[in-house]
Amino acid sequence: MKKIIYLSLFLISCSSFGQTREIAITIDDLPLVASKMDTPGNQQRSTERFNRLLNALIDNQVPATGFVIAGAIANGQWAFLEQFRNAGFAIGSHTYSHFNLNRMSAEKYIADIERADKVLTPLFTQPKYFRYPYLAEGNKTTKPLVQEYLNQHNYVVAPVTIDSKDFQFNEQLYKVPFRSRENYVYKLKPAYLAYIWKQTLKAEKKAGDQPVKQILLIHANLLNSYLLDDIIKMYKNNGYTFITLTEALKNPAPTLNAPTKETPVDDTDGDDSIEYDEFAFI
Ligand SMILES: [Zn+2]
């Protein structure tokens, strides 16, 4: 009897070690990429898209953390952010102007974080998260200065372990006429989901046998307003459990960041290099 119990315990611990797949969703560029609020029609479209994104999270009962570009909050979009936070999701800073730290002084960059802080303070959840635009953490001069600033102001940097590169698929959507976009989303869907899955397998492979926690990067854009539900279901069908960013940071998988001249892209896995300059941000 004892033997059976020991054997069962052994099997349970083996399976939970070997098959634990955990992932946190992070959504950049809130409130909504390329959204306009200047006419009643645009307001309606933006509201519908934001609600679809939010409802995909609520309906699937998964946690998420959103990163807001403080300078991109159009009139009427503050309510989107409050809705997001009031639904129980976390909100962090993604700066005011979405600058690239690999291309500017630490001083100017820090001033931009401070500017965002003034706007976003009423929205922040705890801990106060920060996500670098373009995942650009600066060079050997700027990096320590910005990191020190973030530490002193109680920011916790939110890394990424899986990059969906959704902006590339989203760009394709904007190339088709406005009225055809909804149909085109579903044409893009198989390739987009397959790409995210490929990126996921790559991240898991990089982590080796370690039971690490993944952090997915997607954007608050048109594409995901239609397909976030499918992304969540794909992960669930493959045995993943959704966790908060805070939980993921206890043991994250290897993190990604944008290359600098000093640290060129690690392309040893033979994949395409990361071109964060191509982020579709307006
Ligand atoms: Zn961004």
**How far, in Å, is the centroid of ligand 1 from the Cα of 101?**
12
Instruction: Specify the pLDDT at position 123.
Output: 97
* Contact (CB, 8 A) for 220 and 73: no
SS3 per-residue string spanning 147-173: HHHHHHCCEEECCECEECCHHHHHHHH
**How far, in Å, is the centroid of ligand 1 from the Cα of 8?**
47
What's the pLDDT tens digit per position in 161-171?
Answer: 999 999 999 99
**How far, in Å, is the centroid of ligand 1 from the Cα of 209?**
31
Q: CB 15: neighbour CB atoms within 10 A?
A: 10
Instruction: Specify the pLDDT at position 258.
Output: 81
Q: Cα(247)–Cα(267) distance, rounded to whole angstroms? A: 29
Q: Report how far apart, in Å, the C-alpha atoms of 63 and of each of 22, 88, 232, 241, 281 are.
A: 12, 8, 11, 10, 25
Exposed e or buried b per residue across 214-236, where buried means at least 16 C-beta atoms within 10 angstroms of its C-beta? bbbbbbbbbbbbbbbbbbbebbe
Q: How confident is the model at residue 14 (pLDDT cuts 50, 70, 90)?
A: very low
How confident is the model over 61-66, as a mean pLDDT? 98
What's the pLDDT tens digit per position in 232-279?
Answer: 999 999 999 999 999 999 999 999 988 776 665 443 333 433 333 333
How confident is the model over 86-112, as a mean pLDDT? 98
**How far, in Å, is the centroid of ligand 1 from the Cα of 172?**
18
How confident is the model over 30-49, as a mean pLDDT? 95
User: Where in the chain are the domains?
Assistant: 20-255
Instruction: Specify the pLDDT at position 211.
Output: 86
- Top pLDDT among 282 and 105 is at 105
User: Does position 18 have pLDDT exceeding 80, yes or no?
Assistant: no
The mean of the pLDDT values for the chain is 89
The DSSP H or E segment spanning 243 is none
Which is nearest to 239 in space by CA: 14, 57, 16? 16
- pTM for this one? 0.88
Q: CB 136: neighbour CB atoms within 10 A?
A: 22
**How far, in Å, is the centroid of ligand 1 from the Cα of 133?**
4
Supply the CATH classification number for the domain 20-255.
3.20.20.370
Which is nearest to 275 in space by CA: 259, 261, 263, 256? 259
Q: How confident is the model at residue 86 (pLDDT cuts 50, 70, 90)?
A: very high
**How far, in Å, is the centroid of ligand 1 from the Cα of 77?**
17
* Contact (CB, 8 A) for 149 and 112: no
User: Does position 15 have pLDDT exceeding 50, yes or no?
Assistant: no
User: Does position 176 have pLDDT exceeding 70, yes or no?
Assistant: yes
**For the purposes of burial, counting CB atoms within 10 Å of the CB of 122, is it exposed (0-12), middle (13-18) or buried (19 or more)?**
exposed
User: Does position 73 have pLDDT exceeding 90, yes or no?
Assistant: yes
**How far, in Å, is the centroid of ligand 1 from the Cα of 275?**
13
**Which residues, in sequence order, are CB contacts of 143 under 8 Å at separation 6+?**
101, 137
Q: Report how far apart, in Å, the C-alpha atoms of 174 and of each of 171, 193, 271 are.
A: 5, 18, 26
Amino acid at 68: V
User: Does position 87 have pLDDT exceeding 70, yes or no?
Assistant: yes
Instruction: Specify the pLDDT at position 154.
Output: 97
How confident is the model over 132-147, as a mean pLDDT? 97
